[in-house]
Structure 1
Amino acid sequence: MNPAFSVVVFTTVAGAAQGLVVTLALAVLAGMPLAPGFLGMSLIVAEAMLLVGLGASFGHLGRPERAWRAVLMWRTSWLSREVIVLPAFIAVVALWWLALR
């Protein structure tokens, strides 16, 4: 098996960022005391990682300039589903960061 570099980057970076956000959310829900500066900075790092992952997923397309069309095949393509769900997750993380401010 020899996956494309963009798939490796997307899987690793976006997965790590999602894990970071879920861990932070669980810590907050469990009532663990987190420094506001740490939480805010961690969310910024996660946001940057998610954007890199999304860019890598677009880079996996044969013609990146047609990336907007990836959304059209959402019923059959996992790439289409990730192109829809990942920006929604990025928006949720951004809203959480804004709520801290």
Structure 2
Amino acid sequence: MKLIELLTNIEKIDEESVLYVKRIDGEFSSESEVTILNLTEEELEWKTFEVTEKKCPGFEYFMEAFLIKEFMEDVSSQYPTLEKKCDRLIHYVVFDA
């Protein structure tokens, strides 16, 4: 699934899930592939690189689903299109989170 597709259905994603995204040419993109993990209590204590090495090689930690849901609600009035919201989310993850 691509990041933009996930955002279309974010309300259906379990809030406890953690998203890991694959970079395209070194950057996160709306077209980046996403994997959704439901981690155990033990796995939640691992460092993010340990999770990616063991559960989803080639991906990078992106953000927890509940935070993405909150973010999307917060920017819904400021950014009219899903593409703009996705771009803003990526900017937030890269520079502000």
Q: Of Structure 1 and Structure 2, which has the larger fraction of its residues in strand?
A: 2
What TM-score range do you get, normalising by the shorter chain?
0.3 to 0.5
Q: Of Structure 1 and Structure 2, which has the larger fraction of its residues in helix?
A: 1
Q: TM-score, normalised by structure 2?
A: 0.32
